[in-house]
């Protein structure tokens, strides 16, 4: 079975891609009913099985299944710390906050 995400060849019947970790077994997210690779809707409950690439669910799934290198993880953590620092620095205070700050 070829992984639709990274193109790696996987042995038949595996649930996740051996290369990128993408879930390969197609099943309905709503009712769990097994579905064929080409099914667009669940044959048990009618839930759409194919998500548009731009949907929040699709993006979340893509992020969840993406494999990060240690360097990428470090980069993401640095970015996250910087964003947090910026958020704190630019936070708008009211008089009560200021009073607490000045004791």
Partner 1 sequence: MSYPYRVLAIDDSPHFRILITKLLRRFGFETVETGENGRIGLQKFDSFQPHVVFLDGIMPEMDGLTVLRSIKAKNAVTIVVVTSSLSERDKVLQFKESGADLYLMKPFEEVKFQEVAQKVVNILEARAKASV
Q: Does 101 bind partner 1 (CB under 8 A)?
A: yes
Q: Tell me how far apart the alpha carbons of residues 72 and 78 are, in angstroms, rounded to a whole number.
A: 10
Nearest to 7 by CA among 16, 26, 19, 52: 19
Q: For partner 1, which stretch binds (CB under 8 A), given 17-25, 58-66, 76-84, 85-93?
A: 85-93
Which phi and psi angles does 21 have, rounded to 5°? Answer: 85, 5
**CB of residue 83 vs partner 1: minimum separation in angstroms?**
15
Nearer to partner 1, 67 or 86 (CB): 86
Q: At closest approach, how far in Å is the CB of 101 from partner 1?
A: 6
Residue 89 engages partner 1 in binding (rule: CB under 8 A) = yes
């Amino acid at each position: 079975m070829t992984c639709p995400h990274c193109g790696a060849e996987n042995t038949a019947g595996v649930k996740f891609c051996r290369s990128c970790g993408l879930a390969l077994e197609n099943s309905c997210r709503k009712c769990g009913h097994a579905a064929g690779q080409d099914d667009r809707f669940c044959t048990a409950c009618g839930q759409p099985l194919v998500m548009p690439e731009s949907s929040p669910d699709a993006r979340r799934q893509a992020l969840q299944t993406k494999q990060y290198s240690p360097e990428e993880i470090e980069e993401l953590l640095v970015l996250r710390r910087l964003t947090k620092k910026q958020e704190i620095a630019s936070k708008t205070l009211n008089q009560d906050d200021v009073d607490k700050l000045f004791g």
